[in-house]
Amino acid sequence: MDEQRKKPETGLLQRLGKLLAARRSGEEELDRLARILNIILLCGFLAIGLTAVAATAAGEPGKPAVIGASAGILLLLQIPLRLGRVRLAIFLTFLFVLVLITVVLAIGGGIHDLGAMLYPVIIAGGGLLLRPKEFLAIVLLSWLSAVAIILLEVWGWIRPPQAGGTSIFALLTVTAFFLLASVPIRLLAKDLHRHIARVRENEKALRQSNEDLQREAADRLLVEAALRESEERFRVLAESTFEGLCIVADGIVIDANPSLARMLGGKLGDIIGRPVVDFLEADRAEAILQQLLDRSGSPFEHQARRLDGGLVPVESRSKSIPYRGRMVQVTTCIDISERRRSKEEQRILETEIRQNQKLESLGTLAGGIAHDFNNIISIISGHASLLAGKLKANPKAQAALHTISEAAERGSAMVRQILTFARKSEAEFRALRIQELIAELVKMLRVTFPRTIVIGYSCPSDLPQVWIDPSQLHQALLNLCINARDAMAGVGKLQIRAGLIDGEAIAPRFPAAAGKRLVRIQVQDTGMGMDEETRARVFEPFFSTKGRGKGTGLGLAVVYGVVQAHKGFIEVDSEPGRGTSFSLYFPASERLEVRPAPQTSETLASARGSETILVVEDEEDLRELLTSVLHDFGYSILVARDGMEALERYRRHRQDIRLVVTDMDLPKLNGAAVSRAILSTDPGARIILISGFVEAALKESILASGVREFLAKPYTMPQMLQLVRNVLDEE
């Protein structure tokens, strides 16, 4: 209830206060004068009311009427005040009060009346509130009012309350009073105005300064907020980047990001606060520091030292920046291990490509000469075989024929070497136990190499088999051993080792080895070794460090070709004066070894027949040899010298011919075209195709077209006879 009563009373007082309050103009000085004048008018209205009551009680009937009229005029003075004419309202107020005093004194007790006390009030108030000219006018009018009242008393028009009269000297007294009162009051008012002006200026300056400080504080808050946001953004970027980043001041790491900690194998606490040289390779620490201080900011590669002591290759760049009032070095690091590994793989690949290109060019030459050379060898070996059968009773002839056969075999081996290193020969793959091949090789080497060379080998008995061509592997290892013998100049130690390794061990050097089991064969010598330049060219065909006439330069090229043909890997480790070690890696095989049945005299006897065979061969000597051998074994022979003649002969004797034996390289029409033409008209025709070399894809295409067998040159007569009989006996 009390609260409900207080609320209406409070609202009434607020409305009354608003009603009596002076109007605000927005100008501080005028609003101050308006408030003062409003208070003066309210107080004057109250004072007039009290005076009217007192005059009525004192029996002065004239005064209350005048005072009442004055109260009405005071109310009218509120009009200019409410209209905002403050200066005019002040002047009119003082003028009205002066007139009121004059009237009251004239109808009252004259200059001796209590109302005369308002003259000092007018002078004092006017000095404070009026402008100089207005104040001068009010003072002059007040003096004239007082002079008029005095003169009225002197002339007797006003009866003073005292018994004695008023003399003319009272005029001098009043004049002196006005002078003594108005001048000091005006001076005090002027000084007060100056002081107020200074106070206002100081207040304004303080307000402006306060506003400036507030703006500066607000700007500082914005800058601090932006700085915090920038630092937070930098922190997020630094922590989320994959690059290692650190801030170094006076050689000390003062901040770092998690990526750098991971790169160095630790935590941030293990890095921050430590000298930066602790994370640089010791031998190059000073040079790396100088590079980091280089203002160019260029990237450079070096090794960073991990907390465990290991080294990691990185690419760094550094830049100087202002940081918290001082210059620091911001350094970024990128782990380039993968990049270097990729470069190494690319280098290996480029080396292999260059080597393959060289082999390809020489392989083209090798394929070109293989046909003619194999024909010559086949003629030599074939005739030697025929003579050996006819001259069994002549030991001297047998010895000579044996020498001829060995020479032909060496020539055949040389052709195989050329085709092997050029990857133009067809390998005869089978599952092979490396242990047996190495044991046989070592046994042969110990017999043929000088006894001053110590030959040792180690080969576990449980090694898995390798799917490989034994003759090619034997040739490759023999070439390595011969090179080792020559490098040791007849004195030293030759060691052959074999073992099983995981492909991951050499994957950094040979990425294709990853995930495989590999059989490694090492051939190591204690010879003179090789420098870097020689080692880079060691597998080039016809490159040799031996003297003139002491080597063909094909040995290591053959080794490289064998390894590549078997999808293996090869590497060499050598330094001048410290010997050489060749390592050959071949994929391990789970296939079981299958040994071919040996050829006996019974099998050759079973190769006889009586069928008609068309022999197509452009080389006259080889054609006569082949015809003679087949004729001796009971066959009827038809002969053709080129492809077109072969087709004509087959057309004429189609009903009689049971087998076609044709060379691949023929004039006018090659053997493949002859085979396709015959098979197109007679799909059941039996054909044996002979060639010194043919591409694997072409060979598969020829066999798929219906050709029964493919025989590679050089071949022996027993091989030919057995193959002829096998094809004729096919269902």
Give the pLDDT confidence of 327-341 residue by residue, as tens digits.
Answer: 888 888 888 877 777
Query: Of the ranges 4-18, 198-212, 481-495, 527-541, which is most confident?
Result: 481-495
Total of domains in the chain: 5
Does the pLDDT at position 171 exceed 70? Answer: no
Does the pLDDT at position 612 exceed 70? Answer: yes
Does the pLDDT at position 1 exceed 60? Answer: no
| Residue 286 banded pLDDT, cuts 50, 70, 90 | confident
pLDDT at 561: 80
| Angle, alpha carbons 718-719-725 (nearest 5°) | 90
Structural contact between residues 111 and 155, judged by C-beta atoms closer than 8 angstroms? no
**DSSP conformation class of 698:** H
Residues 25 and 134 in one domain: yes
pLDDT at 101: 75
Residues 490 and 405 in one domain: no
| Residue 717 banded pLDDT, cuts 50, 70, 90 | confident
- Hey, what amino acid is at 396? K
Q: Which residue has the higher pLDDT, 38 or 634?
A: 634
Task: Give the rounded percent of residues in the chain with a pLDDT score beyond 70.
Answer: 71
Residues 183 and 39 in one domain: yes
pLDDT at 590: 61
Assess if residue 159 is contained within a domain. Answer: yes
pLDDT at 660: 92
Does the pLDDT at position 159 exceed 60? Answer: yes
Which residue range is the domain that position 170 belongs to?
A: 21-198
Residues 660 and 529 in one domain: no
Q: CATH number for the domain including 271?
A: 3.30.450.20
Q: Which of 427, 407, 308, 418 is nearest to 362 (CA)?
A: 418
Average pLDDT over residues 546-565: 65
Query: Of the ranges 174-183, 379-388, 662-671, which is most confident?
Result: 662-671
User: Is 592 buried (19+), middle (13-18) or exposed (0-12) by CB count in 10 A?
Assistant: exposed
Cis status of the peptide bond prior to 714, with omega within 30 of 0:
yes
Distance CA 490, CA 482 (A): 11
pLDDT at 596: 46
| Boundary (domain end) residue, out of 281, 306, 335 | 335
Query: Of the ranges 69-83, 262-276, 538-552, which is most confident?
Result: 262-276
Assess if residue 596 is contained within a domain. Answer: no
Q: Which of 519, 506, 526, 525 is nearest to 571 (CA)?
A: 506
Assess if residue 151 is contained within a domain. Answer: yes
Does the pLDDT at position 350 exceed 90? Answer: no
Residues 6+ apart with CB under 8 A from 472: 420, 425, 427, 562, 565, 566
Residues 190 and 68 in one domain: yes
Give the range among 118-127, 420-429, 547-556, 559-568 with minimum mean pLDDT: 547-556
| Residue 585 banded pLDDT, cuts 50, 70, 90 | very high
pLDDT at 413: 62
**Could you report the per-residue pLDDT of 650-666, keeping only the tens digit for each?**
999 989 899 999 988 88
Residues 641 and 580 in one domain: no
Residues 466 and 561 in one domain: yes
pLDDT at 25: 60
Does the pLDDT at position 521 exceed 90? Answer: yes
pLDDT at 591: 52
pLDDT at 427: 56
What mean pLDDT is reported for the chain? Answer: 76
Q: Which residue has the higher pLDDT, 560 or 416?
A: 560
Give the range among 31-45, 181-195, 531-545 with minimum mean pLDDT: 181-195
pLDDT at 601: 45
pLDDT at 715: 77
pLDDT at 597: 46
Query: Of the ranges 145-159, 514-528, 558-572, which is most confident?
Result: 514-528
The pTM assigned to this predicted structure is 0.40
Residues 377 and 285 in one domain: no
Residues 610 and 659 in one domain: yes
Residues 36 and 125 in one domain: yes
Assess if residue 208 is contained within a domain. Answer: no
Structure tokens at 652: 């004429």
Assess if residue 231 is contained within a domain. Answer: no
* Alpha-carbon dihedral 466, 469, 475, 479, rounded to 10 degrees: -50
pLDDT at 551: 46
Structure tokens at 254: 């003062």
pLDDT at 371: 60
pLDDT at 490: 78
pLDDT at 296: 62
Residues 438 and 571 in one domain: yes
Residues 466 and 540 in one domain: yes
Q: Which residue has the higher pLDDT, 171 or 631?
A: 631
Q: Are strands 709-712 and 687-691 parallel, antiparallel or unpaired?
A: parallel
pLDDT at 445: 85
| Boundary (domain end) residue, out of 548, 563, 589 | 589
Does the pLDDT at position 449 exceed 80? Answer: yes
Distances (CA, A) of 382 to 117, 401, 611, 619, 719: 167, 11, 22, 14, 11
Identify the bridge partners of residue 587 per DSSP, sorted by sequence position.
518
| Boundary (domain end) residue, out of 300, 335, 370 | 335
Q: CATH number for the domain including 695?
A: 3.40.50.2300
- Hey, what amino acid is at 550? K
pLDDT at 647: 92
pLDDT at 668: 87
Q: Following DSSP, what letter does each residue of 506-559 receive, concatenated?
A: TTTT-GGGTT-EEEEEEEEE-S----HHHHHHTTSTT---SPTTS--S-HHHHH
Does the pLDDT at position 50 exceed 70? Answer: no
